[in-house]
Chain A
Amino acid sequence: MPLTIPKQRWTAEVQTATIGATEAEGGTRTSTVTIGGEQTLPFLHFDGETPNRPVIAMEVLDEQPSGWPEPLAQHYEDVWGDPAAWAQKAVEEFGADLICLRLLSANPDGSDASADQCAETIQSVLKAVGVPLIIWGCGNDEKDNEIMPFCSQAAAGERCVLGSATEDNYKTICASALADNQMIISESPLDINIQKQVNILVTDMGMDLANIILYQVTGGLGYGVEYAYSILERTRLAALDGDRMLQMPMLSIVGSEAWRVKEAWQSEEDAPEWGPLEKRGIIWEAATATLFLHAGTDILVMWHPEAVTRLRDHIDEMMSGESV
């Protein structure tokens, strides 16, 4: 007697979202990125369709990072301080599907860049690359509320993804996105109920569900990855079970979280028992990304070009599999 394949009958599917707008759609992007639409847990082709592959966004900082270990720094030293060149390198050399731009320079405790300066940065990056953009502020709520309307306007019509709307701070970003035809990231601190709450708040303001990407905070391997893994998995299960407020595609921050973990950057003198530094960080980023991918994420935000290449190959392999 042959085995009856235990299929899972899901009642719903993940929302599809298209990031970026081409000229025909009112923007200037030369390509757009469509994600979501899964009818199954990751890559289980016997259970349902996965119409769109997960994508890799590469992160671009608008100022020179400090303290990056050599194996990472060596790939970006030549473009530090020039976000447009950095973005170009990420797309042309490393094959990024989209760019995740972080406006760290706006931080009032740091360079305290003005809204105008940030808007200029965005325009230069938009000019330098044709792929869609994800744009985050500096992490300081007050300052982000000040710069985001200008940043959003500078990219009006481009269908960028603006980060991020939180339970306590969503109005400004949401209003900007609505005004300029952008999408938003809806963020919660590893908490499904708060995530739903944020989504209710932004949809109450008029945000279309198709314009929302979920971000539920990430932790690197050995540093909280297990919590993020389970939140992604639970969210995806809820989506497939028909929970409208959790059906959007999900994003995971991989690069900065993985490289924050000591195993990724500690020097060899201080940690000889961990093996060569030039390999550790890449391995750490690749392992973290793999776990998120198999928990259901749709956008991996990454740093190291080799980890990016390997993950892209892995996604190819997962997508090209046939139903068993």
Chain B
Amino acid sequence: MALTAMDIYKQLPKTNCGDCGIPTCLAFAMKLAQGQASLDECPHVTEDAIAALEGSSAPPMKTVTIGTGDKALDIGGQTVLFRHEETFRNPCGIAIQVNTSLSEEEMRERITTACNTEFDRVGMIFDLDLIALNDDDGSLPQAAQIATEVSTLPLMLMSDDPESMRGALEVCSEGRPLIYAAGADNFDEMTALAKEFSCPLAIRSQNLDELYELSEKAGEAGLEDLVLDSGARELNAVLQNQTIVERAAINEKIKPMGFPTIGFVVGNNEVEKIISASELIAKYAGIVVTDLLTREALLAMVTARLNIYTDPQKPIQVESGVYEIGEPDATSPVLITTNFSLTYYTVEADTSAGNIDAWVVVVDTDGTSVLTAWAAEDFTPEIIAKTIKECGIEEKVEHRIGVLPGGVAVLSGDLEQESGWNIVVGPRESSAIPTFFKTEYEQRIAGF
């Protein structure tokens, strides 16, 4: 993978002339290895050295960009096979299939729905990535015209017919769509189109050997932005092929395999399709193409993708401090929780769903959940009391009553001691917060 300073040094002139602004070739090599210098700063480096260094320092899997502007999709660029080793890079793109045989109205509606599909989760917005126009009746050029008008997402053009593809590219190539696909039968025409219109190209084969050959040929033809499809559709064959391509790229550095892959969701009903999609997301697909367009199915896909692609070392977190829900005032209740995004936003969503105006004191637990933090001693009475004292909540409210998550009821006595606040133990699950405030809270604080 990354080159060592010694690897680089071997390729340098070793004259220590200093023209690069650094006194010795070795020092320059060390800077280069750390990514703090670039090779072209040495005016004496040979062509051969450039080829050798750039070749071996290239990432094992190319990052391919589809589309342009802020909705452009980057896929690939992976460096590991298992997410515990290092965060997976670019999350897989979700492409919604739209058949060109649909009526214009249906097509507009489907594309608009896909473009408007977004979900709010742990304080972030997640949406879909591509519209995959599937040429099932030869009208791809017309469909591409409609799509350029209504779609805010980049396109993927699916046709085996070079004429249809040309027609579509003439309409929408400025948006850098993905051409899907070049196979053994139309290889020359499709690669020529990819070149002429400067668009990324997918290669679809009958098997892995053919995939290798076609990819190598496309590379020789000067194409750099490829997406691979081994042609398998049966789920287990897909899994095996995806794994082989990923290993060939990352472990073996086999260059023709060093591109992101594309996978197609299969199944006879929604649940089967979700199973297929989950497998593709977990096992290395760079793009997942589906005809599913229901909210429940896409919510599951988007969530699975988020989970697989999050940083395994560092949970998504919010800053500690005081947060407002609704329009709280000096008499509003104070909820206490941790700074794990999932925890905070779950509490926030449930509390707002109950139309409760409240303050939330968020304790820095390194982004862990309530019980995890408690078990790890990051959510102790001392730490919580310190946050209460320092976050400024005491200036915002006139009472001194805090609501603790039910899961850590055992902390309440010590927390009262440490903070001088009265502590009410709330429900275990935040979904019960609305009912809790409607039916219990007033009574529970009556004695204070």
Contact = CB atoms under 8 A, between A and B. Distances in A.
Interface of A: 1-6, 8, 41-46, 189, 221-227, 229-230, 233-234, 237, 262-263, 266, 270, 273-276, 279-280, 282-284, 286-287, 290-291, 294-295, 306-307, 310-311, 313-314, 317-318, 320-324
Interface stretch (B103-111, B143-151, B242-250, B393-401): B242-250
A211 B369 CA distance: 33
The 9 A-B pairs of least Cβ separation, nearest first, read A321-B236, A275-B296, A275-B295, A290-B278, A3-B212, A2-B209, A226-B307, A6-B247, A222-B303
A283 B297 contact: yes
B96 to A, nearest CB: 15
A2 B274 contact: no
Interface of B: 82-84, 119, 121, 207-209, 211-213, 232, 234-237, 239-241, 243-244, 247-248, 251-252, 254, 257, 270-272, 274-275, 277-279, 282-283, 294-297, 299-300, 303-304, 306-308, 310, 312, 342, 346, 353, 369, 375, 431
B308 A284 contact: no
Given A3-B254, A313-B272, A321-B240, A280 B296 contact: yes
Contact of B307 (A46, A229, A320): A229
B226 to A, nearest CB: 15
B268 to A, nearest CB: 10
Contacts of B213: 1-2
20 contacts: A45-B240, A221-B303, A221-B307, A227-B312, A233-B82, A233-B84, A234-B84, A263-B300, A282-B271, A284-B300, A287-B278, A287-B300, A290-B278, A294-B239, A310-B271, A317-B234, A317-B235, A317-B236, A318-B236, A324-B207
A301 B207 CA distance: 36
A41 B282 CA distance: 13
Nearest to B297: A283
B299 A291 contact: no
Contact of A222 (B232, B235, B307): B307
A287 B275 contact: yes
A210 B304 CA distance: 33
Contacts of B237: 321-322, 324
A263 B299 contact: yes
Contact of A286 (B247, B254, B274): B274
A262 B346 contact: yes
Contacts of B275: 286-287, 290, 310-311, 314
A43 B242 CA distance: 12
Given A230-B83, A314-B235, A321-B234, A295 B296 contact: no
A279 B296 contact: yes
Contacts of A44: 239-240, 243
A268 to B, nearest CB: 10
Given A3-B209, A221-B304, A222-B121, A237 B274 contact: no
A224 B431 CA distance: 17
Contacts of A283: 270-271, 274, 296-297, 300
B272 to A, nearest CB: 6
B127 to A, nearest CB: 13
A225 B307 CA distance: 7
Contacts of B282: 229, 290-291, 294-295
A9 to B, nearest CB: 12
Contacts of A294: 239, 278-279, 282-283
Nearest to B375: A189
B297 A324 contact: no
B271 A275 contact: no
B414 to A, nearest CB: 21
A223 B299 CA distance: 14
A275 B299 contact: yes
Given A279-B296, A317-B234, A307 B271 contact: yes
A1 B251 CA distance: 19
A239 B433 CA distance: 43
A193 B325 CA distance: 41
Contact of B310 (A226, A274, A276, A306): A226
A266 to B, nearest CB: 8
Given A221-B303, A223-B342, A275-B294, A291 B278 contact: yes
A290 B279 contact: yes
B379 to A, nearest CB: 15
Contacts of A8: 247
Nearest to A2: B209
Contacts of B274: 283, 286-287, 290
B292 to A, nearest CB: 10
B436 to A, nearest CB: 15
Nearest to A189: B375
